[in-house]
Amino acid sequence: MTSTPVRHGRYSGGRAVGFLWLTCLIALLVTVDPRVSWADTAADSLRQALQDLERDDPRAALEGLEKAYHEVWLQTDFHITKSVLASRQPSDFGIYEPRSDTAFLLGDTVFLYYEIAAFKYRSTERGLEFGIEMDVEMRDTAGRSVLQVSRVLSQVFEANRAVKEMYLSLSIDLESDLSGPYVVKTILRDLVSGEETTDSLEIIVKGESG
């Protein structure tokens, strides 16, 4: 079985602002220890955003929400927010077609789509940079590894501002003599913070394609 190269995530900043953040940050304001300085900063930004909304100034409120979101982002562990088996190669963040089942035939290609959050940044002379590294492993129900690739992705990205949307996609060609259920495990590492997160998706291989 071979693994095709990972198609790294294209990204864009600033499109994910929404009132879902407001709900999450209100919960943060209520529950976080007020002695924590970053929580104070986030809470202040949230309060200002609420005041801006009351004054019917949504643009200013949006800026406050972004500031609060950024403070929480920096304190949150690097993690995978979504993992999906796709029916074809995803084309961009949020643009993918979920696969209706987990059954594959030999000769098929497994497309996996991931969205990630809370990766960290470092400042450079050109702006900001962040980096992601991915390992992938596929095991049968007995725990035997049938595919293991380290650093199938290892890349540093540059950005002019903090990125809020990032996706990764991986494709695996099922070319070996496989049959039955398998678990595809991905390990992602943040190359700036050193944090690591994992995810597993189950598939079933049912013989050769026609």
Q: Give pLDDT tens digits for 22-43.
A: 444 444 444 545 445 777 888 8
Residues 203 and 105 in one domain: yes
CATH no. for residue 98? 2.60.40.3880
Residues 58 and 88 in one domain: no
Distance CA 198, CA 120 (A): 17
Residues 109 and 180 in one domain: yes
Residues 95 and 199 in one domain: yes
Residues 7 and 71 in one domain: no
Residues 56 and 102 in one domain: no
Residues 90 and 194 in one domain: yes
Q: Find the Cα–Cα–Cα–Cα dihedral 78, 84, 86, 89, rounded to 10°.
A: 0
Range name among 8-17, 60-69, 100-109, 113-122 with the lowest pLDDT average: 8-17
pLDDT band of residue 17 (cuts 50, 70, 90) is very low
- pTM, two decimal places: 0.78
Q: Note whether 198 and 164 are within 8 A (CB).
A: no
pLDDT band of residue 176 (cuts 50, 70, 90) is confident
Residues 27 and 68 in one domain: yes
Expressed as residue numbers, the domain containing 150 is 2-13+77-208
